[in-house]
């Protein structure tokens, strides 16, 4: 067997009412906490926030709630939230919400830990800490996901928007949450497109994480178990009639694929999806998902990918691609030009070269251009 690294650092409490039933785990962390969360739109109650507030109150923890987390959070958002604390120094930080809220919780913890200095130097000092998967932050982060997709509750990355470069980038330090409370109830009031984008994001994490050159027996085992969960809920997700048990599967699928792809990484579809999010405002999961089916169909050696799509409940890569296309088509309405596709292909070949090197089959510029063209056919004007 080839050598590999397997690393997980988050204790996950999975299940309905997981905060209520496991809140004692927060006791040793201290008496002061900060909750960062997003303002929920309309009259949708932030059930997870209510559960966490109740838990902290019953534990006599003094806490503040910061609910100004922005979507695609810019670095300046972290600084602003820190200023809102006005000298309140927490023992730990709780992120409640989707990927943005969890990433902001990580970034805020790191920012406070490192003395709240110049934020760009602090988050993005030159030179990456490659292969250092240890937390470098003494302020623990607790994650309570209310969406199922990014897997941020079990991953070490925090993606922030850099206003100085007009791009998104992961902060340089790895920061894994200490505890994640994963409660499927929080998904049940999600709008359909959020369920779609999350499920496809997590699916892409699993597929790409298993095909990456650093994939190993551990992450593939976890991913395959998660693919079986995907098979359980895929039809109901498409039809919009999920049962309680299927919400449980959707929720577990997401964090399991998060654990999996942290052992290797994402590859081609994630790299190809970034321009769609950046320039066409397509949600991250759908942006990657648009390429997922054609990417698998294009494998010259289908034996590499057949076991994956079969574990997800499909006969072959064509059936898989049809399913994913149905989900993305109903939620994505954009227009792209061939000039844009040519430009994105060049950008991919230049900036995302490492993704090509991590892919099991060699792909040329022509292959990437073709993947863009075929996957985006419906949207080309
Ligand atoms: Fe993703």
pLDDT 10s digits, 300-350: 999 999 999 999 999 999 999 999 999 999 999 999 999 999 999 999 999
Distance from the CA of 338 to the center of ligand 1, in angstroms? 25
pLDDT at residue 42 in the model = 75
Distance from the CA of 274 to the center of ligand 1, in angstroms? 10
Task: Please give the Cα distance from 309 to 177 (Å, whole number).
Answer: 31
What is the mean pLDDT of the segment spanning 265-280?
A: 94
Distance from the CA of 166 to the center of ligand 1, in angstroms? 19
pLDDT at residue 71 in the model = 87
**241 and 329 share one domain:** yes
**266 and 360 share one domain:** yes
Cβ pair 23, 53 in contact under 8 A:
no
Distance from the CA of 198 to the center of ligand 1, in angstroms? 9
What is the mean pLDDT of the segment spanning 128-140?
A: 76
- Residue 54 corresponds to which tokens in the numbers above? 């109740």
What is the mean pLDDT of the segment spanning 353-364?
A: 95
Distance from the CA of 63 to the center of ligand 1, in angstroms? 31
Cβ pair 70, 77 in contact under 8 A:
yes
Distance from the CA of 264 to the center of ligand 1, in angstroms? 13
Report the number of distinct structural domains present in the chain: 2
Distance from the CA of 163 to the center of ligand 1, in angstroms? 21
Whether 241 is covered by a domain: the verdict is: yes
Last residue of a domain, one of 133, 160, 186: 186
CATH of the domain at 32: 3.40.50.1970
Distance from the CA of 161 to the center of ligand 1, in angstroms? 15
Does this model's pTM top 0.85? My answer is: yes
Distance from the CA of 271 to the center of ligand 1, in angstroms? 10
**235 and 322 share one domain:** yes
**177 and 251 share one domain:** no
Distance from the CA of 35 to the center of ligand 1, in angstroms? 24
What is the mean pLDDT of the segment spanning 278-295?
A: 95
Whether 4 is covered by a domain: the verdict is: no
Distance from the CA of 373 to the center of ligand 1, in angstroms? 21
Whether 344 is covered by a domain: the verdict is: yes
Distance from the CA of 103 to the center of ligand 1, in angstroms? 13
Last residue of a domain, one of 166, 186, 206: 186
Distance from the CA of 201 to the center of ligand 1, in angstroms? 5
pLDDT tens by residue, 17-41 = 999 999 999 999 999 999 999 988 7
Task: Please give the Cα distance from 176 to 151 (Å, whole number).
Answer: 11
Distance from the CA of 197 to the center of ligand 1, in angstroms? 10
Task: Please give the Cα distance from 115 to 136 (Å, whole number).
Answer: 13
Whether 6 is covered by a domain: the verdict is: no
Give Cβ neighbours of residue 333 (< 8 Å, ≥ 6 apart).
none
Distance from the CA of 215 to the center of ligand 1, in angstroms? 17
Distance from the CA of 57 to the center of ligand 1, in angstroms? 34
- CA-closest candidate to residue 79, choices 139, 154, 161: 161
Whether 334 is covered by a domain: the verdict is: yes
CATH of the domain at 316: 1.20.1090.10
Distance from the CA of 270 to the center of ligand 1, in angstroms? 7
Whether 176 is covered by a domain: the verdict is: yes
Last residue of a domain, one of 163, 186, 209: 186
**78 and 215 share one domain:** no
Whether 5 is covered by a domain: the verdict is: no
Whether 353 is covered by a domain: the verdict is: yes
Can you give the residue range of the structural domain that contains 199? 191-379
């Amino acid at each position: 067997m080839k050598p590999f690294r397997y690393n997980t650092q988050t204790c996950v409490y999975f299940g309905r009412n997981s905060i209520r039933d496991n809140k004692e785990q927060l006791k040793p962390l201290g008496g002061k906490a900060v909750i960062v969360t997003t303002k929920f739109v309309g009259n949708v109650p932030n059930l997870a926030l209510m559960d966490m507030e109740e838990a902290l109150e019953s534990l006599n923890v003094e806490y503040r709630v910061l609910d100004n987390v922005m979507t695609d959070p810019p670095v300046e958002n972290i600084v602003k939230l820190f200023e809102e604390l006005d000298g309140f120094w927490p023992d730990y930080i709780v992120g409640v919400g989707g990927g943005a809220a969890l990433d902001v919780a990580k970034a805020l913890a790191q920012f406070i830990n490192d003395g709240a200095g110049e934020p760009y130097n602090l988050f993005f000092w030159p030179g990456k800490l490659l292969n250092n998967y240890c937390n470098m932050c003494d302020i623990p982060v607790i994650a309570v996901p209310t969406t199922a997709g990014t897997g941020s509750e079990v991953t070490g990355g925090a993606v922030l928007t850099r206003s100085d470069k007009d791009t998104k980038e992961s902060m340089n330090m790895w920061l894994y949450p200490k505890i994640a409370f994963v409660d499927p109830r929080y998904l049940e009031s999600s709008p359909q497109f959020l369920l779609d984008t999350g499920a496809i994001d997590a699916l892409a994490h699993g597929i790409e994480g298993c095909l990456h050159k650093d994939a190993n027996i551990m992450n593939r085992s976890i991913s395959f178990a998660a693919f079986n969960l995907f098979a359980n809920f895929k039809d109901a997700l498409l039809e919009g009639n999920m049962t309680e048990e299927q919400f449980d599967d959707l929720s577990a699928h997401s964090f399991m694929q998060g654990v999996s792809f942290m052992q290797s990484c994402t590859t081609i579809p994630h790299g190809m999806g970034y321009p769609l999010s950046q320039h066409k405002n397509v949600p991250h999961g759908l942006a990657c998902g648009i390429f997922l089916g054609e990417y698998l169909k294009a494998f010259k050696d289908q034996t590499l990918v057949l076991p994956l799509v079969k574990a997800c409940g499909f006969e072959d890569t064509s059936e898989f691609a049809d399913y994913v296309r149905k989900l993305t088509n109903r939620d994505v309405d954009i227009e792209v030009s061939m000039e844009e596709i040519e430009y994105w292909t060049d950008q991919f070949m230049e900036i995302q070269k490492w993704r090509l090197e991590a892919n099991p089959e060699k792909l040329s510029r022509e292959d990437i251009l073709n993947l863009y063209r075929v996957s985006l056919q419906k949207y080309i004007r």
